[in-house]
Each structure stands twice: as structure tokens, then as C-alpha cells.
Structure 1
Amino acid sequence: MPASENVSVAASIYPSDLYGYATLLAAEEQAALLRLRSVLETSVRPVIDDHWERGEFPFEIVQPLAELDLMPPNSPAQQGSALFSGFTIFEMARMDASVATFYTAQAGLFRTAVNVGGSQEQVDRLDPLIRSFEATGVFCLTEPEHGSDIAGGLATSARRDGDDWVLNGEKRWIGAASSAKYLAIFARDEADHEVKAFLVASDAPGVTLNKIRRKTSLRMVQNADIRLQNVRVSEADRLQRVNSFRDVADMLRRMRSDVAWLATGVQAGAYEAAVRYVTQRQQFGKPLAAFQLIQERLALMLGNLTSSLGMVVRLSQQQHEGHYVDENSALAKMYCSLRMRETVALAREVVGGNGIVLENDVARFHADAEAVYTYEGTHDINALIVGRAITGVGAFR
């Protein structure tokens, strides 16, 4: 008997994890993900279609998710694995991209802004409140006229006035802003023209938030336009370690891995929904799954998902070791989002006409993928970051 036949391979907790990447997690981490899955199935699945159609977020799900205590403490002695954090996003995105986006706005974007950009006192004070969702916040970088060119084009201004700063400007596409207590606002200092960051209460005088309506993607996420008119914020509420756009870029290279995980989870959700459908749907007297063309498309989808999982797993392993590189996270975001776009389209294709109704799940994944494909750096911008690393030549300013 070959030795390989004596080897017992642990089954993954995911039916779409062909190579068993989730088995790299510790047993307690896998158990935590299964608890998360239970909450998603009982609290989220029954309400997502109605809320998606209405363009409203089911805020009643926040407390059950917060009680799972999924964010590891910030102390080096207690930090959980980056791989577990990635699979947490994967698990949520496998259920719904809007829920995963809401979570990463808090656990990824806002928490990174504070933990990387804040002083030690700010981190010690705020991080426990962020982990418990007592201090909800959002990352406010994009502007109406500046997205991909935000590094040089950021127009929101900050003027020092005694012990305060005065902020003026606008932000756009800020996900979950409508329900956040704090806005992490990035603004350009009028004195030295460098980018600074400030924690602003969402109800502070001079702050106006308007929900962006008529979206066709991530409809449950409450994106907002934000206007700042002579908003005063104290020096104590300035994130002390953000003193140039280089500091912002340090945050972005850490956070892009979250979006790559999210794009991979969307693939898993779409693929698994497609498999459920084609094994149940009968045409010409047999299940759709019995047709060669359907099987070929399922194989392509699984290949996309498996290659994406391999990439984000290795990226998280590197980041857990403290290895953060622009081109690594940019490549993962670019590649996994591209594969996601193809995978959700194939899922929509194999489900046929029923692929445009919410009850079969693939329509939601198909629509939501378009937003994931764009945010945290478009395909082209991330490709140019990788291209710069390959050639040593920057093709954009």
C-alpha cells in the first residue's frame, strides 16, 4: 500500500476549499469561524435580500457579530493570526459582500487608521472600543474629484488655529459613514502641504452627511458624501503618526489584503450558490450539473477561487511575519478582484434566467462584485503599483 494512502487529510470547513487552505488554521480558529457562520446563517441570511432590495443595512446584526469578539487584541502577546483575520472576512463575504464591507470598514479601515496612525495613548484608549463596536468609525480619504489621484490631489484642507485645527472640504463614497460615531478625516495641512489625519465626531458642528442613493452595487452599505465647513477639531484628536501621504500609503498596503480576501469570499459565495442551483435544477430530464458545459464553467470558477485563496493565504502569512510590501498587496487585490469578476459572471451564466433574482444569491454577488472590483484601488492603479515594482519605473505620478 502506498504511504500516501495511510495519510489522513483533515477536511476543510469550506466545501469550496479544494486544497484545504483553512486547515492551516488552529482548531480554535476554525471553531470561531464556525460560530461566525452560525450567526451569519441565523441573523443575516434571513434578512439580506429584503435589505439589499431596499438599500438599507440591517443594523440589528451588528450586536451579534460584535459579541463574537472576532478582532484580536492589539498587544503583541495576544495578537491573533493574520490568516484568521483573513478567513473571517472570507466567511462574511461568502455570505454577503455588504456585511463583509461593513465589518472591514470597522475592523480594517478605521482600526488601521487608529492603530497605525495614532499615538500609543490613542491606540490604548480607542482600540478596545473599536473591537467592541462601541466606537464605530470610518476611513475618509476619497473625494468627489479625487480617487485614483488622491496622493497628489487631496483637496480637503486643515488649518492650525491655536490648539485646534479647522477643516474644510468634501469626501465621497465613505462606506458606513451614516452610522459611524467617528470620521477619520485625511486633510492637507495648509502650512506644510503634507497630509494629516483627524478623528472628527460625525455630529460635530459643520459636518454634513448625505447618503448616496440609486446605487446598483453594495446596496446595503450606507455610503455617504461628507461636507466639512469650518469643522474644529483639537490637536489631541489629530492622529499623531500621520504626517505625510507616505503614512497613509503604509495604511493602504496593510488594508488591501482585506479587499483581496473579500473578493475571494465573494467568489466562494457565488460558486457555492451556483453549485447548489445546478444540482437541483432539472432541464431536459436531468440536473443541469450533468451537462458538460456546466461542469466546465464550474471547474473554471473553482480554479479562480483556488488560485485566489492561495494568493491571499500566502500574503497573510507574510504580513503576520511583519512583511508588508506595496506590490504584494496590490497584486492580490488586482488579481483576486479580476478573478472574482469572472467567477460571478460564470455563476450568473450557469443559473440562467433565474440568475437575476435575489433568491438564488448569485444576482447579489454578481452586482456587488462591481464595487469590490473598484474600491481600495482600481485594477489599473494596482497594476501600475505592481508594474513599478517589476520595472523600477513609475508609470503614474
Structure 2
Amino acid sequence: MEISVAFPQATPASTFPPMAFDYYLFDDLLTPEEKALRKKVREVMEKEIAPIMTEYCEKAEFPFHVIPKLAELNVVGGTIQGYGCPGLSITGAAIAIKEIARVDASCSSFMMVQSSLALLSIANYGSEAQKLKYLPSMSQLKTTSCWALTEPNYGSDASSLGTTATKVNGGWILDGQKRWTGNCTFADVLIIMARNANTNRINGFIVKKDTAGLKITKIQNKIGLRIMQNGDIMLKKVFVADEDWLPSVHSFQQVNQLLLVARIMASWIAIGISAGVYDMCHRYLNERKQFGAPLAAFQITQEKLVLMLGNIQAMFLLGWRVCKLYEAGKMTPGHASLSKAWITRRARKTVSLGRELLGGNGLLTDFLVGKAFCDMEAIFTYDGTYDINNLVTGREITGFESFKPFLLAKASRL
């Protein structure tokens, strides 16, 4: 979908701008394999997704016809070794998700759910039979998936989830609700987290689409991540055979291990969104003229552009360092949470500056920035809000847990 030809003020994002700068030469931090992967992902996203993202954003629909192109990137499965997965470094997986998000945040979120939550759940906590059955087709995107933790009454307080799993002969009965589950409207398999009615512990289950008692409804009227399909899930006496119970999920702490990886990826999605907005603004300011000169020639626009550039450099360095800590086995929950909280907040400010720089055109999806501005609000919130992630890091550095109001916490100790 092109902008009106009557007012050709600048090139729309359907023709995506090249990367403006590697200002601090971050290429020096990447391996040749990571550079090659970045190049491949960037080319596919600019060629296949950029020309259609405005159309699908306006329709709030997912472009299913591009799934084979995304599969060809060979990045789904991230760091998982074997079973058809690519076995990337966490840095390589982060660079790939960043390049996807640079063009479209919904596609990157779709890939993150598939790779860093659903596949990783089976790879880390599934049986060998489950890994052999599901991972090869999921890594090739022949089988799509979602990961359901959040519920209508339990968002930040996810560990208190109310969906139950009751043991019966030959399997389990699931009852409950899930909300905001990405990909669930079309997922072939759903990874459902539920509370074991006998042990009160959190367990994981693989639920196939069209299972009796399973009802999924698309969430309408989103302002951000409109291309990604989020939905509500109702489970009423859904039977799951024993063979689809994830045998190694027994606590919320194990669920948290998955969220740590997701928070790293969410950080890099925010970096990618910011980089795409910067590249768009850099081109736009050189093309758009006012007062007889390109906008790029004015002091105030240069100052905002430099602020954006500085933010992106800092975000990249923090994201890169967290990846290296993960690879060295030194990353803590606080590291991942601070990365997600700080980077997404900085990214939020960065895309806001981009919106200012484009003036009225910053409100249009045609130039990416208005779309990215709304998408960034979703990234700021999912995989743990800014406040919750700060509290995770705060607990780690002080030794005090402050998730519950003081009086409630005090009462629980009596």
C-alpha cells in the first residue's frame, strides 16, 4: 500500500531504507556467521515483509503466505541443538530477531513465541518422544504454536494462575482461561501452563487445535502489534493424553527459565524497532524539505537524531553483554529483567523522538514510525512489564521481595 502519489514527500517504508550507520562499529563484536545471518534475515525482511506490512497492519491480519520465507531463514529453534533446530548462539538468535523487528515487530513476536517459548518448552521440559514428534516440524514452521501463561485475572501475578489440570485415567482434564496469547488463533499446538489440582504445582501441557472443549477468540481493536494475532483461550474439560504432558515442568521457577530467554529476545526486538525507526527517520529527513532546505540540515532535527543514535548504541551494548553473560552461564534473572526493562523504556523514548521528527507523517503507517510507535507499547508491556522486571532486579540486588503491598506481605507472615 503506497502513500498518495499526489504528495510524494518522501519514500515510504514499503521500500525499506538501508541501515544508516554502524556508528560504533558493532560489526567488530560479531562473528562471521552472525554477520552472514544478519545479512540474510535483513534481505528477506526488506524484500518480503516491508512491501506488505502497511496493508496487513491496516487489516489486522497475519500474512500467512510469508511463513515459508520466514522458515527459510533457519532461525526458529534458536539455540536448541538437534531435532532440525539451528543451534545458534544466543547472540546469533538475538541478531536475527532484531533484524526481523527492524522491519516488523509483529513478525518478530510471532517468531519469538514459536522459538523462545513454545519450542524451548518442549526442548527443555519435554520427553524424547515429544522432541522427536514436535521439534522438527515446529522448527521448519510447518507446525505453528503458541504459549499460554497469562490469564484474565493473572497478568503480572502469573505464578498465581487459576487454570487447573486434573489427573484422570490416561491423561488430564484442563479447565480455565488464558488471555493475550500470541499466535493462538491459528496455532496447530498450544503449550498451556496449568496448576496441578493434586500437587498445586505448575505443569505444562501440549494441546492440539480443534480439541473438544477448546475455544479461541481473537482479541480485536489492538493499537499495537496489529499483524500479530492475540487471542483469548477457553478450556472447558479439555482432555490431554499423558503423552502430551510435559514431564519436567513442576514449578513456576522452571517457567521463569523460559521467560528469561524471552526477555532477552524482547530486548532485541526493542533494539530492532528502534533501529528501523532511526533508519526511516534518517532517510526521511534528507528527503523532506522545509524552508528551502532538507530537514536534516536543521539543528533541532539533528539533535533529536543524535539522541536516537546514542540510545540505540547503548541499547545494543547492554543487549550484547547480556547475551555474552548467557553464553558464559553467568546471566541471572536480574540481568535479563534489567535488560528488558531498561532497553524497552529507552526504545520507547527513541521511537517517540522519531514520531516527532516526522511531524504529521509520523502518524501514518506508510512511514513505519507511527506503526512502530504503537508496536513498541506492546513490547514495553509483554514478557513482564517495566515495573515487574524492575522488581525482579530489585529483589536480586537488595534481597527483599516487594511484589506484594507491604501490609499484605506482612499479613501473610502472621
Query: Normalised by the size of structure 2, how large is the TM-score?
Result: 0.90
Letter in 1 for 2:75: L
Letter in 2 for 1:361: L
Instruction: Note the alpha carbon deviations across 1:206-236, whole angstroms, 9 max, x for none.
Output: 1000000011111111101000000000111
Instruction: Note the alpha carbon deviations across 1:134-185, whole angstroms, 9 max, x for none.
Output: 221111000011100111x200000000221000000000011111101000
Q: Paired residue for 1:5?
A: none
Among 157, 165, 169, the residue aligned to 1:162: 169
Among 138, 151, 154, the residue aligned to 1:146: 154
Letter in 2 for 1:162: N
Letter in 1 for 2:27: A
Matched, 1:44 2:49: yes
**Preserved contact between residue 19 and residue 279 of structure 2 (Cα < 8 Å):** no
Among 225, 230, 243, the residue aligned to 2:237: 230
For the residue of structure 1 that corresponds to 2:203, the secondary structure is strand
Structure 2 CA distance for aligned equivalents of residues 231 and 275 of structure 1: 52
Among 123, 127, 150, the residue aligned to 2:131: 123
Letter in 1 for 2:247: Q
Q: Paired residue for 1:305?
A: 312
Structure 2 CA distance for aligned equivalents of residues 207 and 226 of structure 1: 7
Matched, 1:180 2:180: no
Structure 2 CA distance for aligned equivalents of residues 219 and 234 of structure 1: 34
CA positional deviation for 1:365: 0.6
**Preserved contact between residue 157 and residue 187 of structure 1 (Cα < 8 Å):** yes
Structure 2 CA distance for aligned equivalents of residues 278 and 115 of structure 1: 46
Give 5+ residue unaligned stretches, structure 2: 1-17, 405-414
**Preserved contact between residue 118 and residue 145 of structure 2 (Cα < 8 Å):** yes
**Preserved contact between residue 74 and residue 127 of structure 1 (Cα < 8 Å):** no
For the residue of structure 1 that corresponds to 2:240, the secondary structure is strand
CA positional deviation for 1:73: 6.8
**Preserved contact between residue 79 and residue 93 of structure 2 (Cα < 8 Å):** no
CA positional deviation for 1:78: 7.2
For the residue of structure 2 that corresponds to 1:179, the secondary structure is coil
Query: Normalised by the size of structure 1, how large is the TM-score?
Result: 0.93
Structure 2 CA distance for aligned equivalents of residues 374 and 314 of structure 1: 22
CA positional deviation for 1:41: 1.7
**Preserved contact between residue 75 and residue 86 of structure 2 (Cα < 8 Å):** no
Matched, 1:74 2:80: yes
Q: Paired residue for 2:360?
A: 353
Instruction: Note the alpha carbon deviations across 1:97-129, whole angstroms, 9 max, x for none.
Output: 111111111111111211122123322432222
Q: Paired residue for 1:63?
A: 68
Figure out how many residues of one structure are paired with residues of the other and give that number.
384
Letter in 2 for 1:387: G
Letter in 2 for 1:177: C
**Preserved contact between residue 16 and residue 268 of structure 1 (Cα < 8 Å):** no
**Preserved contact between residue 119 and residue 240 of structure 1 (Cα < 8 Å):** yes
Q: Paired residue for 2:407?
A: none
Letter in 2 for 1:101: S
For the residue of structure 1 that corresponds to 2:23, the secondary structure is coil
CA positional deviation for 1:82: 1.1
For the residue of structure 2 that corresponds to 1:227, the secondary structure is strand
Structure 1 CA distance for aligned equivalents of residues 247 and 176 of structure 2: 21
Q: Paired residue for 2:102?
A: 94
Structure 2 CA distance for aligned equivalents of residues 102 and 180 of structure 1: 11
CA positional deviation for 1:14: 4.5
Q: Paired residue for 1:103?
A: 111
Structure 2 CA distance for aligned equivalents of residues 325 and 120 of structure 1: 28
Matched, 1:29 2:34: yes
- How has the CA–CA distance of structure 1 residues 254 and 28 changed in structure 2, closer, same or farther, with 3 Å as cutoff? closer
Summarize the alignment of residues 331-342 of structure 1 with structure 2, pairs less than 5 Å apart: 331-342=338-349
- How has the CA–CA distance of structure 1 residues 49 and 294 changed in structure 2, closer, same or farther, with 3 Å as cutoff? same
Identity %: 37
Q: Paired residue for 2:409?
A: none
- How has the CA–CA distance of structure 1 residues 16 and 136 changed in structure 2, closer, same or farther, with 3 Å as cutoff? same
Summarize the alignment of residues 308-319 of structure 1 with structure 2, pairs less than 5 Å apart: 308-319=315-326
Summarize the alignment of residues 232-381 of structure 1 with structure 2, pairs less than 5 Å apart: 232-381=239-388
Q: Could you tell which deviates more after superposition, 125-134 or 267-276?
A: 125-134
Structure 1 CA distance for aligned equivalents of residues 143 and 328 of structure 2: 28
CA positional deviation for 1:81: 1.4
Letter in 2 for 1:150: A
Give 5+ residue unaligned stretches, structure 1: 1-12
Q: Could you tell which deviates more after superposition, 288-297 or 111-120?
A: 111-120
- How has the CA–CA distance of structure 1 residues 78 and 322 changed in structure 2, closer, same or farther, with 3 Å as cutoff? farther
For the residue of structure 1 that corresponds to 2:185, the secondary structure is helix
**Preserved contact between residue 145 and residue 187 of structure 2 (Cα < 8 Å):** yes
**Preserved contact between residue 20 and residue 282 of structure 2 (Cα < 8 Å):** no
CA positional deviation for 1:33: 2.1
Letter in 2 for 1:266: I
